[in-house]
Amino acid sequence: MAFVFSSYSTYSVANNGDIILLNSFAGSAAKIDKKQAPEIMKLIQGGMRDRENKTCDVLIKHGFFIDESIDERKLVKKILDFERTNAGANLTIMPHENCNFRCTYCYEDFARNKMTNEVVSEIKNYVKNNIAQWPYFSTSWFGGEPLLALDVVDELSREFISQSERQAIEYSSGITTNGFFLTKTVGKKLLDLEIDSFQITLDGPSKIHNQQRPLISGRETYDKVYRNILELAGIDSEFSVVIRVNFTKQSTQDVDLWLKRLSKDFTGDKRFSVSFHPIWSVCQSSNNSSELYSIEDSEQSVYELMKRTKELGFSLKHHTNALAPHGNVCYASMPNEFVIGSDGSVYKCTVALNDRRNKLGNIINGQFELDNELKNQWEEVEELQQCQTCWYQASCQSRCCPLATINNNGFPPCPANKDGIIEIYNTEISSND
Ligand code: SF4
Ligand code: SF4
């Protein structure tokens, strides 16, 4: 039986001659020592006649090479389509659409407030009416600031936990919060409500954070948020925290000292990771645009920051997850994933809340009443020639940002991390040797 280099595999030769191999369908990554590089290059170019030796066996086992008689693209597409259409349900719920912060780069208009009791009842009924068809059920709490309506989070979570137990299906939940109200008591309460994945934003050193993320009154927020994260770390329980850092060119200049402080407090704790996000000039007309990144020049800065956090002992797992199948697929393209606003509106994307193409309908009488034509626009893509031969296709599936695809007349953008994922693995694998 002969094997060829999988069309979902790619490789790169590092500066020292080692080879990094990646495969987006198997989610595999490997570093090959430079001594073996000529042998591996020969296999990549010419294939292998059989499981010729132990190396060949390992490369096949991890999906880098595939039986040449298999129509790989057809098989993988079938599997990924099945997984996508049969995935469990995820509801992103906005219990409050206002916020106690006024971040300088925020895109929300705060036109709506706390979720009404009627919408809370509608959501409970919707879950009751549909949960039996779902293989699993998850929720993401989002806003505005979701902890402004902790009572709604509490009431709905209890209902979801009880419904899931009754149906014997798995339930999980996470929250995106500015962290201001996340005291130790609130943290424990959220964990009791099975909310065990947190994304909290801290925009670097206190001076920068306080400029970018003030309260409505203009008051500073850094000390309180940092203290709350430290208190969360003091809870003896299993959970994960991603500290999200939105950065500009100016904020990266002073970031080293701050990262050292962060690493002193959190690197021994595997529950914590850091994730960097450039604030792009295309989105920000009011900010000082000379400090903002263009989409093109931001990625290199992300890798530099990631390397620094890795050197300080943080895990890059949050970034390396992108290599797995579906790893770059946006939830807005998933048939069972919806965003529910505080007024009962049903959306696909959490960014374009005022875009009429994003509002699919409403929740009425315990069911979604949706415009299916609009829904399909978010979920279906016409696969372009470039995607049909792309090694990253299993991770992206031409669905990394359906909003951008719609805006671009059906042409999907490639994920921003496509070119850099090899660099990320180079750092991750080298540091784990
Ligand atoms: S569709 Fe695009 S903008 Fe909207 S949530 Fe997905 S990735 Fe973000
Ligand atoms: S959009 Fe880009 S990364 Fe995604 S499958 Fe197509 S070519 Fe590959």
Q: Are the C-beta atoms of 198 and 242 separated by less than 8 Å?
A: yes
Residue scoring higher pLDDT (358 or 204): 358
Q: Out of 8, 10, 386, give the residue to mutate to test ligand 2, the one with the largest number of ligand atoms within 8 Å of its CB.
A: 386
List, for residues 123-153, the tens digit of each pLDDT value. 999 999 999 999 999 999 999 999 999 999 9
C-alpha 72/C-alpha 78 separation (Å) is: 10
* Ligand 1 shell residues, CB under 6 Å: 330, 332, 349-351, 401-404
Among all bound ligands, the one having the nearest atom to the CA of 414 is 2
CB distance 386 to ligand 2 below 6 Å? yes
Asked if 66 and 116 sit in the same domain, the reply is: no
Helix intervals (H) in 143-285: 150-167, 184-192, 206-212, 222-233, 249-253, 255-266
User: Residue 321's pLDDT band (boundaries 50, 70, 90)?
Assistant: confident
Task: State the SS3 of 208-230.
Answer: HHHHHCCECCCCCCHHHHHHHHH
Asked if 231 and 380 sit in the same domain, the reply is: yes
Among 70, 99, 118, identify where a domain stops: 70
Among 29, 44, 70, identify where a domain stops: 70
H/E element, 368: strand 367-370
Atom of ligand 2 nearest to the CA of 418: 3
Q: Out of 142, 244, 351, 378, give the residue to mutate to test ligand 1, the one with the largest number of ligand atoms within 8 Å of its CB.
A: 351
Domain containing 19 equals: 3-70
- Tell me the CA–centroid distance for residue 389 and ligand 2, in Å: 9
Asked if 282 and 215 sit in the same domain, the reply is: yes
Task: Provide the percentage of residues in the chain whose pLDDT is more than 90.
Answer: 74
Asked if 292 and 163 sit in the same domain, the reply is: yes
- Tell me the CA–centroid distance for residue 327 and ligand 1, in Å: 14
190 pLDDT higher than 80:
yes
Asked if 244 and 194 sit in the same domain, the reply is: yes
Q: What is the CATH number for 195?
A: 3.20.20.70
Sign of CA dihedral 217, 221, 224, 229: positive
The angle at the Cα of 302, spanning 298 to 305, to the nearest 5 degrees, equals 135
- Tell me the CA–centroid distance for residue 399 and ligand 2, in Å: 8
Q: How many residues does the chain have?
A: 433
Among 48, 70, 92, identify where a domain stops: 70
Among all bound ligands, the one having the nearest atom to the CA of 418 is 2
Asked if 284 and 364 sit in the same domain, the reply is: yes
Asked if 23 and 136 sit in the same domain, the reply is: no
Token pair belonging to 398: 């031409």
Picking from 178, 152, 330, 244, the residue whose alpha carbon sits closest to that of residue 338 is 330
Q: Out of 329, 333, 418, 421, give the residue to mutate to test ligand 2, the one with the largest number of ligand atoms within 8 Å of its CB.
A: 418
Q: Give the count of domains, the chain.
A: 2
Asked if 66 and 78 sit in the same domain, the reply is: no
Asked if 50 and 122 sit in the same domain, the reply is: no
193 pLDDT higher than 80:
yes
Over residues 19-34, the mean pLDDT reads 94
CB distance 421 to ligand 2 below 6 Å? no
Asked if 61 and 97 sit in the same domain, the reply is: no
- The closest residue, in CA terms, to atom 6 on ligand 2 is 387
| pTM given for the model | 0.91
- Tell me the CA–centroid distance for residue 75 and ligand 1, in Å: 28
Residues in CB range of 46: below 8 A, 6 or more apart: none
Q: Out of 350, 378, 380, 397, give the residue to mutate to test ligand 1, the one with the largest number of ligand atoms within 8 Å of its CB.
A: 350
Asked if 38 and 168 sit in the same domain, the reply is: no
100 pLDDT higher than 70:
yes
CB distance 251 to ligand 2 below 6 Å? no
Burial (CB count <10 Å: 0-12, 13-18, 19+), residue 379: middle
Residue scoring higher pLDDT (304 or 90): 90
- The closest residue, in CA terms, to atom 2 on ligand 2 is 414
Query: Would you state the pLDDT for residue 433?
Result: 40
List, for residues 206-264, the tens digit of each pLDDT value. 999 999 999 999 999 999 999 999 999 999 999 999 999 998 877 777 788 899 999 99
- The closest residue, in CA terms, to atom 7 on ligand 1 is 401
Asked if 86 and 57 sit in the same domain, the reply is: no
Name residue 31's beta-bridge partners. Answer: 20
- The closest residue, in CA terms, to atom 3 on ligand 2 is 414
